[in-house]
Structures are given as structure tokens and as C-alpha cells.
Amino acid sequence: MNANVQSSYGLLVGRLAFGFAMIKVHGWGKLMRLFSGEEIQFFDFMGLGSTISLGLATFAEVICALLIMIGWYTRWAALPLIFTMGVVVLVVDYGEPFREFEKAFLFLAYFISVLLTGPGKFSIDHRFRKTTSF
């Protein structure tokens, strides 16, 4: 097995693991809160309101994480996740105990690496590279 294929397997494992973890750790709870019918209380970073802010975070943490897992529009999907995790690291969790900060920081670092490396050979993007790359 050549190094390029090995790297693509590594990228696949990372996409699946971090995408699933993003949905499980961050996105699923937000999705349930968004559709619960209860009053939404959520961090309003840009003055858009709690509901819109929660909707945008949920989009990034569920839809974009799914896109990264299957490798479709991967680099584009990484951008909202980078923004969302950047807000968590630099604004929401700043000054919190390291354990809380650490999770968001690791997600941020991983999604930046996805933006830089792309999804690898085992992705929809690779199959249709001409139409889905930056």
C-alpha cells in the first residue's frame, strides 16, 4: 500500500471520528434544543438573537459535520465549523477550566487541518474533484 492511500485512510478515519464526535458532543443536543419548543437561551455572539445563533451553530455542528464525514464539499463544510469552534475557543470557553477549552480547541485544530488537506481519496469530493474543490 503506497503512502498516498495510507494517508487517505488516515484522513477517512479522522473525518469519521471527528465528524461523529462533533455531532454527538456538540450538535445533537443543540438540534434537540432547537426543536424542543421551549424558550431558547443560547449565546448570542453577533447580535443575531439566540434562536438564529443556535440555528447557525446547529447547522455547522450537524450538517457540516455530516458533510465532512462523507467527504462532500469538505473544505467548504469545514469553514462554518472552524468559525463556530473559533468562537467557542476565543469567546465562550475562554477562561474556563482547561478540560472544556481543550475539546473545542481540538475540534478547531482538526477542522483547520481538514481545510488545509482536504478529504483524501475516500470521499465524494475526490470522485468529482473538478466540481467540488475550492
**Which tens digit of pLDDT belongs to each residue from 87-115?**
988 887 666 666 667 888 999 999 999 99
Q: How far apart are the first and last CA of the chain?
A: 28
Helical pair 50-58 and 74-87, crossing angle rounded to 10 deg: 140
Residue type for position 1: M
Q: Residue 133: pLDDT above 60?
A: no
Which of residues 131 and 121 earns the better pLDDT score? 121
Distance CA 100, CA 67 (A): 25
Nearest to 43 by CA among 24, 30, 61, 25: 30
Mean pLDDT on 56-78: 97
What pLDDT is recorded for position 93? 65
pTM: 0.88
Q: List pLDDT tens digits, range 3-20.
A: 788 999 999 999 999 999
What's 87's DSSP letter? Answer: H
